[in-house]
């Protein structure tokens, strides 16, 4: 708890040595607690809650996204649509619309301020709740958002255990997720809403396994309405559900998703939202792996800018991956979860932007499998913060190798081991 307090209240993201040292010790303790010490699950749950509460009154120190979260919530409460107006425009046209407007504007940074909101409607809901409960205090809004995310983590713990039990897997596996330092720091500490997305997503998986299709469709739609990433998993449910149920499943998800967006729908909404989402494929670059290698090769040989064609590359890779997984025609829930893990892993390996909190999805999926590469990645991702200097962001190829080579090494080793095991079973 002392180290988490140090992280929460006395750390800046440009303090690289301190960042690495504290995170490494936290990760070592995490491994020791789960692998070596025989602690009861109830005590592990209390520990998970206690570690999160350490952050309760801390302003996030590794991410400035929370300023935009609070901005969007107060904007909606003021009767405006976050998908139709940018902070840059609003700070000029109506600089006193809501309290602490200038502080929030300065805090979110120029990149966020220049674009329309990209957060789907259920992602916006906690922002609205924070605006209602804390209209005049940034710290008050942070506390509200944090409590909601802690609640989502407890929901993941509850439904994760239920699903593990149904799949006849050790319920203790969920603590490899819930006590992971990256999960605690990025979700509770830095207020990233992958936790809320994964809460609904693990519920959807549970309801798919228990054949409650309507509840599965509802919770999947809610998950997508927090973050769009689960859309990539939808084709993979085809083998599990069959054609007839799949059509109803997809139509139900689509219907709920559109209904959730309905209050925000205006003439310019589709154009603005599409343009904002498109930035992830055409403008933003951070902590990439195969994309950087391919881009470097093309620039060296032909002076071609790969990023302008990256959306085609990503769609092609995903299309091939999904097609291959569907051909396998596996119907077990464990097989479904594994295929989702492979597809999302492939997506992040070819993405132009990979922030540390993105990988938390892979970590949750991996606890239902025998693969540990996502857990290794949840440690090496700390090196991505080495790009942040006091006044700039500057990535280093050697640092990227320190992050990705151990992950690739473990992944190749695990795939080889699985192949050997399959051969032994056949003989």
238-245 long-range Cβ contacts below 8 angstroms, 24+ apart: 238/326, 239/326, 239/328, 239/329, 239/330, 239/331, 239/335, 239/336, 240/208, 240/331, 240/333, 240/336, 241/208, 241/213, 245/213
Beta strands in 3-140 (DSSP E): none
Kindly state the tokens that stand for 36.
Answer: 């070596």
pLDDT at 270 over 90: no
Q: Quote the pLDDT of residue 307.
A: 73
**Per-residue confidence band for 215, with pLDDT thresholds at 50, 70 and 90:** very high
214 contact partners, CB below 8 Å, separation of at least 6: 252
Over residues 92-105, the pLDDT tens digits come to 999 999 999 999 99
Kindly state the tokens that stand for 105.
Answer: 């504007």
With vertex at residue 194, the alpha carbon angle to CA 144 and CA 405, rounded to the nearest 5 degrees, is 135
Q: Quote the pLDDT of residue 124.
A: 97
| Domain boundaries of the chain, sorted by first residue | 2-426
Kindly state the tokens that stand for 15.
Answer: 């303090």
pLDDT at 296 over 90: no
What span, in angstroms and rounded, lies between the C-alpha atoms of 237 and 326?
A: 9
Q: Quote the pLDDT of residue 11.
A: 93
Q: Nearest to residue 220, comparing CAs of 182, 260, 191, 185?
A: 260
Mean pLDDT of 197-226: 97
Q: Is the pTM value of this prediction over 0.75?
A: yes
Mean pLDDT of 369-373: 96
**CA 134 from centroid of its chain's CA atoms:** 26
Paired residues of 393 in beta bridges: 388
Find out whether 107 and 67 touch, Cβ atoms under 8 Å.
yes
Kindly state the tokens that stand for 5.
Answer: 């307090």
Over residues 329-350, the pLDDT tens digits come to 778 999 999 999 999 999 999 9
What span, in angstroms and rounded, lies between the C-alpha atoms of 176 and 218?
A: 27
């Amino acid at each position: 708890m002392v180290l988490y307090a140090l992280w929460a209240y006395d750390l800046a993201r440009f303090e690289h040595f301190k960042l690495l040292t504290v995170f490494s010790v936290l990760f070592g303790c995490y491994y020791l607690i789960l692998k070596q010490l025989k602690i009861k699950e109830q005590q592990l749950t209390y520990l998970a809650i206690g570690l999160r509460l350490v952050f309760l009154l801390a302003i996030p120190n590794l991410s400035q996204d929370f300023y935009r979260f609070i901005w969007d919530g107060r904007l909606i409460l003021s009767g405006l649509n976050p998908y139709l107006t940018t902070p840059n425009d609003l700070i000029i046209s109506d600089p006193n619309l809501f309290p602490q407007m200038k502080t929030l504007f300065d805090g979110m940074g120029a990149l966020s301020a220049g674009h329309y909101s990209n957060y789907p409607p259920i992602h916006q809901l906690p922002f609205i709740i924070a605006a209602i409960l804390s209209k005049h205090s940034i710290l008050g809004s942070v506390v509200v958002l944090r409590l909601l995310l802690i609640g989502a983590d407890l929901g993941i713990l509850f439904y994760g255990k239920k699903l593990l039990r149904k799949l006849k897997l050790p319920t203790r596996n969920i603590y490899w997720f819930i006590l992971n330092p990256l999960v605690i720091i990025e979700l509770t500490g830095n207020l990233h809403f992958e936790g809320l997305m994964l809460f609904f997503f693990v519920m959807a998986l549970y309801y798919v396994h228990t054949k409650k299709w309507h509840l599965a469709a509802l919770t999947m739609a809610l998950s997508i309405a927090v973050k769009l990433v689960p859309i990539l998993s939808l084709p993979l449910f085809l083998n599990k559900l069959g054609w007839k149920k799949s059509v109803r499943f997809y139509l139900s998800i689509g219907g709920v998703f559109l209904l959730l967006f309905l209050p925000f729908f205006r003439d310019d909404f589709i154009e603005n939202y599409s343009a904002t989402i498109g930035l992830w494929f055409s403008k933003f670059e951070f902590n990439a792996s195969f994309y950087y290698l391919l881009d470097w090769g093309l620039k060296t040989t032909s002076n071609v800018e790969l990023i302008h064609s990256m959306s085609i590359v990503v769609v092609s890779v995903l299309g091939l991956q999904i097609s291959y997984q569907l051909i396998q025609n596996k119907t077990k829930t464990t097989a479904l979860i594994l295929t989702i893990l492979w597809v999302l892993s492939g997506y992040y390996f070819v993405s132009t932007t990979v922030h540390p909190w993105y990988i938390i999805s892979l970590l949750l999926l991996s606890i239902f499998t025998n693969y540990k590469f996502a857990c290794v990645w949840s440690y090496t991702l700390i090196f991505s913060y080495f790009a942040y200097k006091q006044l700039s962001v500057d990535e280093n190829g050697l640092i990227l190798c320190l992050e990705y080579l151990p992950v690739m090494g473990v992944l190749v080793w695990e795939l080889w081991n699985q192949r050997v095991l399959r051969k032994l079973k056949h003989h």
